[in-house]
Amino acid sequence: MTDHSPIHPAIQTSVTEASFALHPRLEQDSLPVAIHEKCEVRLINDQRFLWALVVPRCPGVQELHELEPEMRQNAWNLVQVLSAGIALLPEIDKINVGMLGNLVPQLHIHVVGRRQDDPAWPGPVWGSGEAVAYGISDAEERVLFLKGLLTDLCAETSTSS
C-alpha cells in the first residue's frame, strides 16, 4: 500500500535560495562577510567579542536536523574553519560554538572567540551588556580576517577534489 500523506515541509529533497531572507535581527546585529557553499558568514557588530555567524541559506529552516546532509556538512565545515582560525589568535583563550534560536528562529550558528578578560567571561555572551559597534576600519579588518579563513577553506577544497 502506498502512503499518499503530504511530506512535512521540513523534509524536502531540495531547498532553493530564491526565497531565503536573512532574519531582520541578524541583519541588524551583524555585518556581511561572505557566502560560501550556500551558507552566509557574518560578523556580529560588537567589538567586545570576535563573534561570527554561519547562517545556512535555507528558507524556513530552524533546526540543524532539518538541513539536508550536504548542507549540514557545509555548515559544520565553516564552523570548523572559523573556530580553528579564530583560536589561532593569541588573545583568544576559548572558542564557544552555539545554536540557541530562542529569539531568532532562523537557524544560525555562533562561533565566538572568548578572552578571560572579556566583559562576559566566564558566562555566555548572549545578553551580556550593550553591544559596542566596530569602527569602520576595525570592522573591515575583522571581515578581511574572516574572509581569509574562508579563502583557506576554498583552497583546501579545490586541492582535495
Q: Residues 92-101: pLDDT tens digits? A: 999 999 999 8
- Cβ neighbors of 127 (< 8 A, separation 6 or more) are none
- Tell me what the pLDDT averaged over the chain comes to: 87
Domains and CATH numbers, the chain: 24-160 (3.30.428.10)
Asked whether the predicted pLDDT for residue 135 surpasses 70, the reply is yes
The terminus-to-terminus CA distance of the chain in angstroms comes to 43
Residue-level pLDDT at 80: 96
34-57 pLDDT, tens digit each: 998 899 999 999 999 999 999 999
pTM: 0.84
5-27 pLDDT, tens digit each: 343 333 333 344 568 899 999 99
Report the residue count for the chain. 161
Q: Tell which residue, 111, 130, 110, has the closest CA to residue 120.
A: 130
